[in-house]
Amino acid sequence: MTDTHQSQPTGAKRPKASRSATESPPARVEPTTTLPAVIPHQDDRTDENPWLGFWAYQRDVWERGILFWDALRQRAVNMIAHERAGKPPLLDFEYEMILDARRFDEPANYALLRITRIDEACLEDCFDPSKPPVVVMDPRAGHGPGIGGFKRDSEIGIAMHQGHPVYFVSFFPEPCPGQTLRDVLHALRRFVEEVARRHTGQAPILYGNCQAGWAATLLSADCEGLVGPTVLNGSPLSYWAGKSGVNPMRIAAGFVGGAWMTHFLADIDDGRLDGAWLIANFENLKPESVWDKYANLFMNVDTERERFLEFERWWNAWYFLSREEIVAIVENLFIGNKLEEGKLHVCDGCTVNLRHIRNPLVIFASYGDNITPPQQALDWIPAVYRDTADLKAAGQRIVYLTHPHIGHLGIFVSAKVARFEHRAILESIKEISALPPGLYEMKIDNPSGDPDCHKPEYIVHFEERDVSDIEVDTPRQAFERVREMSEANEEIYSTFISPFVRSLSNPASASMLEWLHPMRTSRYLFSEEFNPWMRVIAALAPIVERGRKPLPPTDRFRTAERDASERIAKMIEQAREHRDVTEERAFALAYGAAPGKPATA
């Protein structure tokens, strides 16, 4: 693997999902024949002979199995090629680098990119100078950059289609040595200033996805007048909020002793936190989804292979965070919950107060999101503003939009959501900015149900809400005890244990831990470079594809297969729910109160 500290290309266009930018076509044996038809295909009269139907299904399973393992092989090949290329942003758009924060006086591993082209269409072809620029900020929470634009129907694609000049905040795989949260925020502020300078008189619209949402919020609180409307997609701002038994991540610190564990994981990795740990936590939140992902690939490999590979190129590109940055994030935000309390200390003389935000905020959350539920996206509002009159007196406009069932990643990657909700938000920015101060719920009436429709085919209206409508039932005393415990354990660890652990860590040991991480080995081992037996799969796959005649979905054996998969997923789901309920009860016993009921708006 090449050194991932190297500079990345200043302009690139993301290739097709099944092949990385530096990857040559995988060597395959060109078939001169197809498999012998010993076992009949679906076009034989299997309905008259159950045994023929059974053997046809066995053949279909065998063929799908070969193609399934070949998809996992291709995923491993893509991962290794992406690593060797330096893990460039997985954007489906051409771009140029405007600023590289690694060269700032206070360096950070961030870069500002300007989107220049979609295929043959340059930005100038659809650019509308009357529209403000859009800056898309991707989350730095384990994954690499690209979720806001790794396919055409995305936040970047919709913004370009609407005529906005578009910029993208990217980041590099390795943090700068000693990089702090302060360094990151100062770099982001420089980026916003540069975009505003390039578009005189038009404050940029910020798009903050997940973790980048609270970063965009910090910018909004710190850069009054410099930032335009800010769209927060699945962004947690109230970290103790949630629904009992549904959002277990918020109570996890109570079982590991607080932030010291994060500090330890960064120490053993030579001062960096491996993003693979964060992604493992995400998958552990809902293990039935992991089963569904692979089961869906196996059962529908003929149609799902390319989509699977496209998404996995982003999902399995894991980046690193500096020790100083991640410990500050965990201590102050996820465990400390200091953002909504106005106690987040960024640097000398700089404490973030959300009441300082004057630009309109648009909050997009989903009740199907188990990582950032609507409670975590909205419950900060009554914590910051006493009532609606207080919100109006502050001159603030807050608009929220909820989705009934889409998951966390669907908020960013769903093509349907991009073409409908994100388009509706962008097309309504002027209306949102013109609203009187207050709290509003954005409603979209779409009689046709077509996600590709435009105004006036759908109607957006804003219903005024009261701050008291946001019900908050968070056991603050219990989480206060967790925070106190975390601070005490972190003090002990950083004083007595961390120096010893750091003395044992070095680049060689960190590299070994990186390659031996279970999240990576479970992927890499399907590559021919790690597993020579996969060469057999690579040779068989094109032969199977040449003679492939899949059974129809209505086949009785395929139907039974789907039913069995659904039952297994349900069993995993029930086990996970039992685990979460048990953890909630243990949390209540340990800290004196059970997490509360869901907050609704």
Task: Note the pLDDT tens digit of each residue in 185-235.
Answer: 999 999 999 999 999 878 999 999 999 999 999 989 887 778 899 999 999
Contact 134, 166 (CB under 8 A): yes
pLDDT bracket for residue 63 (50, 70, 90): very high
Domains and CATH numbers, the chain: 43-86+251-336+475-601 (no CATH), 94-240+337-474 (3.40.50.1820)
pLDDT bracket for residue 12 (50, 70, 90): very low
From CA 199, how far away is CA 419, in angstroms rounded? 26
Dump pLDDT digits (tens) for 108-149.
Answer: 999 999 998 876 665 666 778 889 999 999 999 899 998 888
Higher pLDDT: 41 or 576? It is 576
Average pLDDT score over residue span 322-327: 96
Query: Could you tell me the two tokens for 6?
Result: 């190297």
Residue 498 has pLDDT above 60, yes or no: yes
pLDDT value at position 38? 41
The C-alpha angle 455, 459, 465, rounded to 5 degrees, equals 140
- Alpha carbon distance, N-terminus to C-terminus of the chain: 49
Residue 34 has pLDDT above 60, yes or no: no
Average pLDDT score over residue span 309-335: 95
Specify the pTM: 0.88
pLDDT value at position 283? 94
pLDDT value at position 120? 63
pLDDT value at position 562? 97
pLDDT bracket for residue 33 (50, 70, 90): very low
One-character DSSP codes across 246-277:
T-GGGGTHHHHTSTHHHHHHHHHTTSEEEHHH
Residue 3 has pLDDT above 70, yes or no: no
Query: Could you tell me the two tokens for 77?
Result: 């090949």
Residue 272 has pLDDT above 60, yes or no: yes
Amino acid letter, 248: P
pLDDT value at position 4? 41
pLDDT value at position 363? 97
Residue 345 has pLDDT above 80, yes or no: yes
pLDDT value at position 463? 97
Contact 558, 67 (CB under 8 A): no
Alpha helices (H) along 201-352: 211-222, 253-256, 260-268, 275-285, 287-299, 301-315, 323-329
Query: What's the chain's average pLDDT?
Result: 88
SS3 readout for 529-590: CCCCCHHHHHHHHHHHHHCCCCCCCCCHHHHHHHHHHHHHHHHHHHHHHHHHHHHHHHHHHH
Q: Taking the CA atoms of the chain, what radius of gyration do you get in angstroms?
A: 25
Dump pLDDT digits (tens) for 149-165.
Answer: 878 888 998 998 888 99
pLDDT value at position 306? 95
